A and B are shown apart, each in its own frame.
Chain A
Amino acid sequence: EDQVTQSPEALRLQEGESSSLNCSYTVSGLRGLFWYRQDPGKGPEFLFTLYSAGEEKEKERLKATLTKKESFLHITAPKPEDSATYLCAVQARGGSEKLVFGKGMKLTVNP
């Protein structure tokens, strides 16, 4: 069964303090690994898709990387507006389009 584990469950950073979020996965043939951001009371907002090991994508202060077993979301010099829950999900090859999500990681950036 496809599985996603995110760590840590929660993280508090000071503004400007860089860190990384980890997403470990097991999947029967990876089609894509997805990162989403979710603010309280809102739907998940798409950030990145990674398709193969070694791939990297960047958006502002966020950079996502992928290996065969895990993905990292690096946050460089975070700002308070980066505070949110970050969700990792995998999609397996072969028919079903469903996303299997991890439990998320709540990031709080203090000013």
Chain B
Amino acid sequence: DTAVSQTPKYLVTQMGNDKSIKCEQNLGHDTMYWYKQDSKKFLKIMFSYNNKELIINETVPNRFSPKSPDKAHLNLHINSLELGDSAVYFCASSSTRASYEQYFGPGTRLTVT
């Protein structure tokens, strides 16, 4: 009965490749997010979707493209991976009709070599 799940858990790839991370939530929330946590453990928002509509895009390179096929899913596709993209990516979800707290997935550790 996992609330927010992400796949894969680990992703190791070479520079220049294209990769995707998937996220699903079963909480019935209407808003989903992608955060990036760098090597210093600093969590920073990247994107947010509300009811499949992009509402936050925080100066992220356009090599990153989120896609929300429905309210329960938010995927992140990354083109032409660079060394600096290595980080842990977290998906989160919340309900704008409730108390705003965000629930996070377990994270995807991306390593670009």
Chain A interfacial positions (CB closer than 8 Å to B): 31-32, 34, 36, 38, 41-46, 49, 85, 87, 89, 91, 95-101, 103-104
Contact status B44-A101, CB under 8 Å: yes
Taken together as a complex, chains A and B put the C-alpha atoms of A94 and B5 apart, in Å, by 29
List, in ascending order, chain B residues with CB within 8 A of A38's CB. Answer: 41
Set of chain A residues within 8 Å of B43, measured between Cβ atoms: 44, 87, 89, 99, 101, 104
Q: Which of B85-100 contact A (CB under 8 A)?
A: 90, 92, 94, 96, 99-100
Residue of B41, B100, B103 near A97 (CB, 8 A) is B100
Q: Closest CB-CB distance, B74 to chain A, in whole Å?
A: 13
Residues of chain B within 8 A of A97, CB atoms compared: 31, 33, 48, 50, 55-56, 94, 96, 100, 102
**Is there a chain A Cβ closer than 8 Å to B45's Cβ?**
yes
Task: Tell me if B100 and A32 are in contact (CB < 8 A).
Answer: yes
Closest to B45 in A: A98
Q: How far is the CA of A34 from the CA of B42 in the complex (A)?
A: 15
Most buried by B among A36, A89, A91, A99: A99
Jot down 29 A-B pairs with beta carbons below 8 A, ordered by A.
A31-B100, A32-B101, A34-B102, A38-B41, A41-B107, A42-B106, A43-B90, A44-B43, A44-B90, A44-B104, A45-B104, A46-B101, A49-B100, A85-B41, A87-B43, A97-B31, A97-B33, A97-B55, A97-B56, A97-B94, A97-B100, A98-B33, A98-B45, A98-B56, A98-B58, A100-B45, A101-B43, A104-B42, A104-B43
